[in-house]
Copies of this chain bind each other. A is one copy, B any other.
């Protein structure tokens, strides 16, 4: 064990720490998310799919599954429900007959933008719990270590889509409210 890069003990402690922290964080995020989207008759998967399709502007079902960290069948089934509600449209491309492409409809865009506008109507425990850090450091935490771990697990593609979608929100807000 002496010549190992890490000890069993270190690995176990680290593993238990990250398991507890990530569960607690995700449960808080999930609760805030559910409270926010409740008035719009969407579940988290549906909203996440709508969100990804909006920011990717022409995502395939497998893009949605990958970026939404959900099974392909979950991505497909909930996308289908959103299509039935007229919030998404499905299409094939001449250059790529195998994949189904998903786009947010005008109705879907209006719904998403309405949701963004009403974001601050509901309570966000995670946001509030982050304010003391913002006060102390002058900015919200950037979770560099979590981001690095996720990049190593999910790959550069995942992080590229992630950064692209955040850039997209930034641009949408710049052109609108500021």
Structural contact, A69 and B15, CB atoms closer than 8 A: no
Additional A-B contact list (12), CB under 8 Å, known A16-B166, A22-B22, A23-B48: A6-B131, A9-B177, A10-B140, A12-B173, A13-B170, A15-B126, A17-B166, A18-B126, A20-B165, A24-B69, A27-B69, A130-B149
Residues of B within 8 A of A42 (CB): none
Which A residues contact B (CB, under 8 angstroms)?
Answer: 5-29, 32-33, 48, 69, 116, 119-120, 124-135, 140-143, 145-154, 158, 162, 165-166, 169-170, 173-174, 177-178
Cα distance, A145 to B29, chains bound together (Å): 15
Within the oligomer, what is the number of copies of this chain? Answer: 2
What is the CA–CA distance of A29 and B33 in the complex, to the nearest angstrom?
Answer: 20
Q: Kindly list the 3 A-B residue pairs having the minimum CB-CB distance in the complex, ordered from nearest.
A: A141-B145, A129-B152, A26-B26
Q: Which residues of B have CB within 8 Å of A148?
A: 132-133, 141
